[in-house]
Amino acid sequence: MNTLLNREEVFLEIESASNPSFAQAEEFLEREFKVNKDCFAIKAIRGGFGSGVFRIEAHVYPSKEHRDKIEPRKKDKKVAAGGGK
């Protein structure tokens, strides 16, 4: 538990025949931690070559508001064709 950022940093290992997608990882985290998908952020899904074991790295927050304060936001695409002039 990271008390400074009010989040739990988790590392989970799952066995699968193929690389799990982020949607499958979200479903797994929802079942495992019994939280809404708005309350966590998946950082990475890594697998060992030929092993069938994949490691999911995620941050679990107590609420969506906490996640929105801490996690970086994606930059919005520019609406105008001319750019940011």
Domain with 23 in it? 8-70
- Please tell me the pTM assigned to this model: 0.77
Q: Domain count of the chain?
A: 1
Tens-place pLDDT, residues 7-58: 999 999 999 888 899 999 999 999 988 989 899 999 999 998 888 999 999 9
Residue 62 lies in a domain: yes
pLDDT above 90 as % of the chain: 60
Q: Look at residue 2 and tell me if it is in a domain.
A: no
In a domain, 83, yes or no: no
CATH of the domain at 26: 3.30.70.330
In a domain, 53, yes or no: yes
- DSSP output for the chain: -BTTTTBEEEEEEEE-SSPPPHHHHHHHHHHHH---GGGEEEEEEEE-TTT-EEEEEEEE-SSHHHHHHHSPPPPPPPSSTT---
Is 38 contained in some domain?
A: yes
